[in-house]
Each structure stands twice: as structure tokens, then as C-alpha cells.
Amino acid sequence: MPETPRTLLTKAQMAEGIRGLAKSIHEAHRDAAEIALVGIYTRGVPLALRIAQELGRLGGPKVHVGTIDITQYRDDLNTFTMLPKLEGSDISFDLDGLDVVLCDEVVFTGRSVRAALDELHQFGRPRRVQLAALVDRAGRELPVQPDFAALKVTLQPGERVAVRFEEVDESGDACTIETQPPSR
């Protein structure tokens, strides 16, 4: 029987972390005329929207928001028993020469980011691509590091970070550590 999830961030701590991400991104791009935030489906999308909302409160560069679906670029599709729903990417602005911040709720192995970069470059050639994550989890398989992270954690084998956003999940905002039963 799986253990009860342990709280990593409360709803208030998640909101504070997102405000901190926005402040760091604002500081890094204070002289830019415009930037883009691109959320990786599924939970990177509400993260990008919330960061954009916070950036709007801070003033500064014009912020474009887009979404990216990495399903077709995943290297593990053959391991799925049920294929994920294709959401489609929506980047309705010109990426060429623009600073882009990819947003994902958790960065762990780096594979989702690799897939996102492949999809992103189908839309143009950004000047620079940075990465923002609510949680930076240790355990990379690829040389990918977030430029902006609200929290860094190292977990034990069999543990995973589960982030929930009320825009996507019925349970509302939560960030927990869940224990996965060992595979047999």
C-alpha cells in the first residue's frame, strides 16, 4: 500500500515560489522589450500563466505566453500503456530573436526539456532559451539545468514529486512527495 503523500509545498508556499520565479525572471530581463513564457503541457502551462500574471504586476517587458505539447518528441512513448492526449502547441507570436523561458512544474531527468526544445525550434529560432521550474529535482540524465527554480530537492529512490494546479487538477494546488511501490 502506498504511503500518504508528504507535503513539499503548501498552496501558499507554491504561490510564494511562483512570485519568486517571476521576480528572478523580471530581474534577468529588465532591459528587454519583450520575452516569451512557454508552458510545457500539462502543468507547465498554468505555471507559465501564473508567472506571466506576476510579471504583469512587476511591469517591465511585454510578455507573450505560449504552450508546447511534447508528446510527439518523447523518447518513451513505447513504454506507455495508454498514449497521452495530444494538446497541440500554441505559439502565436514570432520566436525569432526572442528570449524564451520554458516553464515546467518539475525538472528531473531533463528528457521533457529535451523534447520541448525539439518542438520549440519548429516555431523559430529564439535568441536564448532559459528554463523555469517550480521544483528542481536532482537526478539528471541529460545536461539540463533550470535557470530559475523555486525549490531544489533530492529524493530517495521510489519517491516522486507531484505538483497539482487548480486549473488542471480537481484537488487544487498542492506539491507533494509520493512514494511509488517497487516494481516487480
Q: What is the pLDDT of residue 120?
A: 96
Q: What is the pLDDT of residue 60?
A: 85
Q: What is the pLDDT of residue 1?
A: 57
pTM of the model: 0.92
| CA–CA gap between residue 41 and residue 49 (Å, rounded) | 12
| Residues 38-55 pLDDT 10s | 999 999 999 999 999 999
| Residues 126-180 pLDDT 10s | 999 999 999 999 999 999 999 999 999 999 999 999 999 999 998 899 999 999 7
- Alpha-carbon distance values, 70 to 92, 136, 168 (Å): 17, 19, 17
Residue listed under C-alpha cell 518539475: 106
Residue 80 has pLDDT above 60, yes or no: no
Q: What is the pLDDT of residue 133?
A: 98
The sign of the torsion formed by the CA atoms of 83, 87, 91, 92 equals: positive
- In a 13 Å sphere around the CA of 132, the CA atoms on its Cβ side amount to 31
Looking at this protein, which amino acid is placed at residue 48? Answer: A
Q: What is the pLDDT of residue 183?
A: 60
Strand, coil or helix: what is 112? helix
CATH number of 12-155: 3.40.50.2020
| Residues 104-134 pLDDT 10s | 999 999 999 999 999 999 999 999 999 999 9
Instruction: Using a pLDDT cut of 70, give the percent of the chain over it.
Output: 90
CA quadruple 109, 169, 65, 114: dihedral, nearest 10:
20
119 within 8 A of 100, measured Cβ to Cβ:
no
Confidence of residue 71 (pLDDT cuts 50, 70, 90): confident
